[in-house]
Amino acid sequence: MNYIRHQQGLFERFVSDKRLSPFHISLYMALFQLWNSNRFRNPFPVAREEVMELAHIGSVSTYLRCIRQLHDWGYIEYAPSFHPGTGTKVSCTKFDKAGDTGADTSGDTALLKKNTNITNRNKQGPPDFFENGKEKKGNSSSRYHVVNDKDYGEPL
């Protein structure tokens, strides 16, 4: 399970699904966080109070409506438990396009090339205590007031 690919696939689906409200998205993200905490094991147990708090949903009826709709729309598998001793189980649908194998990395290269120099719009230069990509030697006016005679560019 690739966390980033899953989120990218999920957000693509969120954009195209006009049925979703902010409640649905925040509920799914709370469930996704719990799924991550359970090491992406399906199904995983959930407690309504905990999920409502994570999703910032204050109404039980809103929570129940949204979780049922997420189930109906294929985002999750929801198996409610009506017994207080048995927890409700949820399974999240995987939206990563490459699956668990990581075989499709062609999109990763394009994504890296697209976002490589995104901070170039920030016209700030390097800090004063760096010179040509290396730390200035013996600069006692550095931010941390440390004099450093070592050349960290040399191998150990």
- Calculate what percentage of the chain has a pLDDT beyond 70: 62
Sign of CA dihedral 106, 109, 110, 111: positive
Q: pLDDT for 110-121, tens place per residue?
A: 444 444 444 444
Asked whether residue 80 carries a pLDDT value surpassing 70, the answer given is yes
Question: What are the structural domains, with CATH classification, of the chain?
Answer: 3-92 (1.10.10)
Q: Reduced to 3 states, what is the DSSP secondary structure of residue 138?
A: coil
Segment among 58-67, 83-92, 102-111, 127-136 with least mean pLDDT: 102-111
Q: Reduced to 3 states, what is the DSSP secondary structure of residue 150?
A: coil
List, as one string, the DSSP characters of 73-85: TTSEEEE---STT
In this structure, the number of other CB atoms found within 10 A of the CB of residue 95 comes to: 16
Asked whether residue 150 carries a pLDDT value surpassing 90, the answer given is no
In this structure, the number of other CB atoms found within 10 A of the CB of residue 111 comes to: 12
Segment among 10-19, 27-36, 84-93, 146-155 with least mean pLDDT: 146-155
Q: What is the DSSP letter of 99?
A: T
